[in-house]
Amino acid sequence: MAFTTNLAGKLTRDASSGPQIGPSSQWLQTFLDADLAAVHLFSRSARPTVIRWLAIGVSKLGNGWIYLILLPLVFWRLGWNGWHIVALAGVNAALLHTLYPILKRRFRRKRPFHADARLPSLLKTLDEHSFPSGHAMTITGVLAPIVLAWPAMTVSAVVIVLSMAWSRIATAHHYPTDVIAGVALAGALSFPLSSYALAFF
């Protein structure tokens, strides 16, 4: 528990600040500096106008619009029997969002554009803290039962998740570790749960 508390404190710290005192902190500071450097790299990728609007558009799709696109696709492919896939996707999202605010409050990590004023935020945030990425988490959780029931969707699902992850970093709303944590959390919960539930259908 002490380690978790210490790690939460480290993640909250401004990643652009100077080195922390103590040899046990050096590896973590180096890691956080690399995480922030990666955000700068992704942010630069969104400087061209077209790419910037693409990053904004993909992020806004993650606010809920993308699920209105996925819903008819599921019914188109699976017919009305796709209701259980849609229900599982909803259950996954609901369960993940019970954990999500707890983690946000626990780690209280500053968003990259708050930690480093050189990073431009390309759109408004839905909440204050950065870790984990709710957009990456939710899309992974929703896609889990779809991929299991419709394996041909796997490549498209990977592209969707990677695009969402890129957009969240390119808009300076998240660090790479935020989106990795969001995907990992959703994968660890949603795939086993969906696989177990689908065995009964």
Give the predicted TM-score (pTM) of the model. 0.82
pLDDT in tens, 48-57: 999 999 999 9
Write down the pLDDT at residue 22. Answer: 56
Provide the pLDDT for residue 15. 44
The angle formed by the CA atoms of residues 11, 26 and 7, to the nearest 5 degrees, is: 25
What is the number of domains present in the chain? 1
Query: Would the pLDDT of 17 be above 60?
Result: no
Mean pLDDT of all residues belonging to the chain: 87
- DSSP per residue, 29-90: HHHHHHHHHHHHHHHHHT-SHHHHHHHHHHHHIIIIIHHHHHHHHHHHHHGGGGHHHHHHHH
Q: Give the span between the Cα atoms of 146 and 182, in whole angstroms.
A: 18
pLDDT band at 177 (very low <50, low <70, confident <90, very high): very high
Domain of 137 in residue numbering reads as 2-198
Residue 3: pLDDT over 50:
no
Note the pLDDT of residue 179: 97
CB 59 within 8 A of CB 123: yes
Q: Find the CATH number of the domain harbouring 176.
A: 1.20.144
State the pLDDT at residue 10.
47
